[in-house]
Structure 1
Amino acid sequence: METSLVFFSQLSMCEPKAKTIFKLIHGSGKEETSKEAKIRAKEKRNRLSLLVQKPVFYDDTPSTRSGQLAKETRVSPEEAIKWGESFDKLLSHKDGLETFTRFLKTEFSEENIEFWIACEDFKKSKDPQQIIRKAKAIYEKFIQNDAPQEVNLDFHTKEIISKSITQPTLQSFDVAQSRVYQLMEQDSYMRFLKSDIYLDLTKGRSQRPTNLRRRSRSFTYNEFQDAKSDVAIWL
């Protein structure tokens, strides 16, 4: 009889443990299922958010477009026609510079004009520390290998700048700026004069939407090394 009592006593003690273990296992399964469901739901939301986002190249709201047109209409056809007389006249006019920059953005080559503008600003530096700081910023942004907005320069020009960047002068980027100027004058400027952006201005028309396109940058400054090398101060 004692053995029997001991036997039933063990069953009564084990039964709660079994139920507890079952509940723990069952509850863990629910928790894992719940986590998986949350992860799947999150992934679906991420995919949906990507689908509804506007492409970066065409993120053009009506307010932005109207603001651009307001700027463009300030330019008279007569003034725009003067831009076609020379690259110098285009860059020396504030609206001309802005319009040319907008054109280069459609060709994904705006780093050229941004580098030119940065060099113009750099040459106005007065304080020695400011010269060093700006020179380093230009070098890291436009000149060094794999720079975020690297301009198309030959190895020799880059090497000279690299060696002098620790002790820069106001003339440190003159050669590089001249190379980039020649590229824009002989290549981008010629296409600009034939673009809808420019032709619409010369005829007093409102700007039409421009299509962004990737253009080959296989050309180098060597193609234009016979061109005029002097770069005037426009701004």
Structure 2
Amino acid sequence: MENPLLLSPQLNASSRVKSLYKIMKSMNKEGAKPETKHRAQEKRNRLSLLQKSELQRNVDLDKFEELAKASSKSPETVKKWGESFDMLISQKAGLDAFTRFLKTEFSEENIEFWMACEDYKKSKGLSQLSHKAKKIYETFIEKEAPKEVNLDFTIKEQTNQNISHPTINTFDAAQTKIYTLMEQDSYPRFLKSSLYLDLLHGRPQGCTALRRRSRSFTFNEFKDAQPDFAIWL
């Protein structure tokens, strides 16, 4: 029978480690040998590895919950994302899904630039325009920028000139170029991706793998491996 203390995702990493420690201690209470300095160090190393493993499992479960929330959109809603690129990015859930897809292709700077431009257009006052324009230019447009987007020389030069006297329309040409690039290049691949198809059919990504992992430790398995736990105690 599986130990609910070890399998419950509601327990934090520390609680599961303590529960595991108590089980192993009771299993080896009799016949324990005096530990050497080497054995004590090895115990600490193994316990540290277990704690890291449990913490990573918590992170995986958090990611699964995020994916489950994204997949909560009805198939009808997800299907509409396939009608047009504008329909996809006009909805937060669609924008989030498309951003995750671009990250798998290492091109998320495109959607980040587009969103930065949308935010820029909401600026109030010349001071805010100047500050945001400088930040966008240094992040996405100037040569060797940390998230440089793919713009031709003409648009870069035009944008560079606009920066000195920023207006609401400073990045219009660059934003349109990147929007077209995503619409014609990335969007068709997104619609064929497993990420989109899983959402379309209501299949949360990572569900199977995480469920299998959550059942990887059972009480019976611990019992069978009893001799190995002597070094922990």
TM-score interval, normalised by the smaller of the two chains: 0.5 to 0.7
Q: Runs (4+) of structure 1 moved beyond 6 Å?
A: none
Pairs within 5 Å for 1:53-132: 61-132=59-130
1:166 aligns with 2:164: yes
Given that 2:68 and 2:204 are in contact with CA atoms closer than 8 Å, whether structure 1 keeps it comes out as no
CA distance in 2, matches of 1:98, 1:131: 26
Counterpart position of 2:142: 144
TM-score normalised per structure 1 = 0.62
> What amino acid does structure 2 have at the position aligned with 1:111?
E
Over the matched positions of the two proteins, sequence identity in percent amounts to 58
**Equivalent-residue separation in structure 2 for 1:59 and 1:103 (angstroms):** 23
* Structure 1 equivalent of residue 197 of structure 2: 199
Let me know the Cα RMSD of the aligned residues: 2.1
Compute the displacement of 1:69 (Å): 2.1
> Matches of 1:182 and 1:63 in 2, distance apart?
36
How far apart in 2 are the matches of 1:109 and 1:59? 28
| Structure 2 segments unaligned to the other structure (5+ residues) | 1-51, 208-233
Q: Give how far 1:163 is off.
A: 1.6
- Kindly provide the CA deviation profile for residues 154-180 of structure 1, in whole angstroms up to 9, marking residues without a partner as x: 011101111221211110100000000
Greater C-alpha Rg: 1
Q: Which amino acid aligns with 2:85?
A: F
Question: Is there any run of 5+ residues in structure 1 with no aligned partner, and where?
Answer: 1-52, 210-235
Amino acid at match of 2:146: P
TM superposition shift of 1:62: 1.6
Q: Secondary structure at the match of 2:144?
A: coil
Deviation larger for 73-82 or 133-142? 73-82
- Between the aligned partners of 1:73 and 1:152, the Cα distance in structure 2 is 31
User: TM-score with structure 2 length normalisation?
Assistant: 0.63
> Contact 2:72–2:202 at 8 Å: present in 1 too?
no
1:117 deviates by 0.2
Q: CA deviation at 1:59?
A: 11
Q: CA deviation at 1:70?
A: 2.8
> For 2:111 and 2:58, how far apart are their aligned partners in 1?
22
